[in-house]
Chain A
Amino acid sequence: MAIAVEMPKMSDTMEEGVLVAWLAEEGDSVSAGDVIAQVETDKATMDLEVYDDGVLLKKVVDEGSGVPIGGLIAVLGKEGESADDVLAKYGGSGDGAATEAAPEPAATPEAAPVSEVVAPGGDGAPTAADGGRVKASPLARKMAEEGGIDIAALSGSGPEGRIVKRDVEAAMRGDAPAAKAAPVAQPLAQPVAQPVAQPVAQPVSAPAPVAAPAPTAGAEDQKLSQMRKTIARRLAQSKFTAPHFYLTIDVDMAEAMAFRSRLNKLGEAQGKAKVSFNDLVTKACALALRQHPAMNASYLEDEGVMRYHREVHVAIAVAIDEGLLTPVVRHADRKGLSEIAADTRELAGKARDRTLQPQDWEGSTFTTSNLGMFGIEEFTAIINPPNAAILAIGGIRDVPVVQDGELAAGKRMKVTLSCDHRAIDGATGAQFLNTVKGYLEQPMTMLL
Chain B
Amino acid sequence: MPRRRLRPLLFCAPFIALFLAMYVAPIGYAAVSSLYTVHRSGLGLTAPTKVFDPLGNYARALEDGAFLSSLGRVALFGVVQVPVMLGAALVLALLIDSKSARGKGFFRLSSFLPYAIPGVSAALVWSFMYSAQSSPVNRLLHPFGVSIPFFDSDLVLWSVANIVTWSWAGYNMIIIYAALQSIPAEVLEAARMDGASALRVAWSVKIPFVRGALVLTTVFSIIGSAQLYNEPTVLLPVSGGSVSSTFTPIMSAQSAVAAGNYPYAAAQSVLLALLVGGVSFVFFRLTGREERA
Q: A and B, one complex? A: no
Which A residues form the contact surface with B (CB < 8 A)? none
